[in-house]
Every structure is written in C-alpha cells, then in structure tokens.
C-alpha cells in the first residue's frame, strides 16, 4: 500500500491527541466544589450543539437525509432540527445526491453566501465522487472539486445511521478547534470560492490557464507553457488553428441553410 502523505499523518495524530480539558487534574478533596474546563470546550460545545444545517438535497440520498430529520432518528437531539435551504444562519451544508454540472454553480454560490463558521458534509457516493454516474456527461465527479468538504459519508445511499455517524464526526472535528486558531477571526481568511462557469461544459475559473493551455495545444499542436520547448511552441503558434476540411465546411453550410429555412431568414 502506498504510504500516506505526511500532512495526512499529522492531521490523524492531531485527531488522536487527548483534549486539554481532560488532562487537568483536580485534587480529590476539591472534586465536589471545583469545576475546571477550557474556553475552547465551552465555545465548541455551544457551536456543535446547535449546528443548523443547510440541506441541499439533490437526488435519492436526500430521502435518507429527510428520514434522518424525521421522528424515528430525530436530529433535534443534536440541536439540528432547523433545516432550511437558506445560507442565513446556517453552519453546515449537507450536499446529498448527484451533483450535476447545472447545479454545481448554485451550490458554490450558496456556499459563498454562508457566514463563517461554515462546514460541508458530502453525503453519498454521488456527492463525494460522482457515484454510479461518474464520468457521466452531466455529472460532477465530487463536490470537493469546487468547495472544501469536511466530512464524507460513503454509501449509495448512506442510511440515516451513517449520516448520524458523519454528523458525530463533524462534532468531533468542531471539538478539536481552538478559539485561538480558528480561521474566521483572522483577516482575509474566509476566501471567496470562484463560482464555476456553465457553458458547453462546466469549468472552474481557477483552472482557466490550464484549460487555455490544453486547448491551444489541441488546436495548434503546441503548448502555451512550451512543454515541448520554445521552438516547438513558436512553430505551433505560427501554424495557427487547424483549417476545416471541405466536407466539414459543406456540412456547416447545409446546417446554416436548414436554419435559415426554418426561421424564414433570407440567405
Ligand atoms: S449515491 Fe446512490 S442513493 Fe445517493 S444520490 Fe447517488 S445514486 Fe442516489
């Protein structure tokens, strides 16, 4: 098995560290009168005990999420019964279901509208990696390509028990945060996530240079980053875009004629 990246190991070790408030020892004779804790414990306890979800039900997984909120599983136990499709006052976005290319910009826009602290839970195989529709023409291969995800819940669909386990993991994550280091009290920490653009295909504006480079390479045979050397790059640019074949030109003219005839536009 390939070794795990070092920052992953470090994150895992941090998750295993005992809490500071569990290490403070109160003498036996004071146990009945003294209560010691940390500011972090109170701060995190209050946040995780009233984490309001922003439900983003997109497909079948949403039914399991709805079942989790209903009487049998009762999310009110965790102070999470206020489920609204609104970024106002919400702390946790639950992306449950298949994320289509048409829907991804809306998800990112709403994520940008959420106030800090904000968390994201990806529910199900589809939201996490495309699921059974991975590589489908209209499906995004995981919402984490666009927004940061804190907890992944696997399954197709994950049952309510799995979602609740994911929520408990989210609580653990919140418990590990410290008021001295949380990003939302730092200047410029809450970055705006570029909203993906939906055209013939969806693309992430952060990758525009890469897309430009790849497209140029495909049309001119050279790379803007001159992967094959500056000489090959200049040669490719000089050649310009490929010209269309006569057959392709004829087909385009045919299509134009048909369109004009349909719309009644004179030639
Ligand atoms: S993971 Fe399975 S159950 Fe969930 S939305 Fe995708 S296909 Fe449906």
Best residue among 65, 122, 126 to mutate for probing ligand 1, ranked by most atoms within 8 Å of CB:
126
Spacing, Cα 70 to ligand 1 middle (Å): 20
CA dist 216 and 148 (Å) reads 30
Q: Does the global pTM surpass 0.75?
A: no
Work out the percent of the chain whose per-residue pLDDT is above 70: 86
Structure tokens at 191: 């970055």
Bridge partner residues of 95 (DSSP): 56, 122
CA dist 95 and 65 (Å) reads 10
pLDDT in tens, 1-38: 455 666 777 777 777 777 777 777 878 888 888 888 88
Weakest mean pLDDT among 24-38, 140-154, 159-173, 195-209: 195-209
Spacing, Cα 250 to ligand 1 middle (Å): 45
59 Cβ closer than 6 Å to some ligand 1 atom: yes
pLDDT in tens, 215-259: 777 766 554 455 555 555 555 555 555 567 788 788 888 888 888
Query: Whose CA is closest to 99, among 71, 69, 141, 145?
Result: 141
Looking at per-residue pLDDT, the higher value among 16 and 160 belongs to: 160
Mean pLDDT calculated for residue range 135-142: 87
92, containing H or E segment: strand 92-96
Closest residue by Cα to atom 5, ligand 1, is 97
């Amino acid at each position: 098995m390939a070794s795990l990246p070092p920052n992953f190991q470090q994150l895992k070790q941090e998750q295993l560290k005992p809490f500071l408030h569990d290490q403070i020892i109160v003498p036996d004779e004071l146990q009945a009168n003294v209560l010691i804790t940390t500011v972090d414990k109170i701060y995190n306890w209050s946040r995780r005990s009233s984490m309001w979800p922003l439900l983003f039900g997109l497909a079948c997984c949403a039914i399991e999420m709805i079942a989790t909120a209903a009487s049998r599983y009762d999310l009110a136990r965790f102070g999470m019964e206020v489920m609204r499709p609104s970024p106002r006052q919400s702390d946790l976005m639950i992306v449950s279901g298949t994320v289509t290319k048409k829907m991804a910009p809306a998800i990112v826009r709403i994520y940008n509208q959420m106030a800090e602290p904000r968390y994201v839970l990806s529910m199900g195989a589809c939201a996490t990696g495309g699921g059974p529709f991975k590589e489908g023409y209209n499906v995004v291969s995981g919402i984490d390509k666009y927004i940061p995800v804190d907890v992944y819940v696997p399954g197709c669909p994950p049952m309510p028990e799995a979602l609740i386990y994911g929520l408990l993991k989210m609580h653990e994550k919140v418990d590990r945060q410290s008021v001295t280091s949380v990003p939302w009290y730092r200047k410029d920490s809450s970055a705006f996530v570029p909203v993906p653009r939906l055209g013939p295909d969806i693309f992430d504006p952060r990758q525009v240079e890469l897309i430009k480079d790849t497209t140029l390479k495909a049309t001119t045979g050279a790379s803007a980053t001159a992967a094959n050397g500056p000489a090959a790059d200049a040669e490719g640019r000089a050649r310009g875009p490929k010209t269309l074949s006569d057959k392709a030109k004829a087909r385009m003219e045919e299509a134009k004629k048909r369109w004009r005839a349909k719309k009644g536009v004179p030639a």
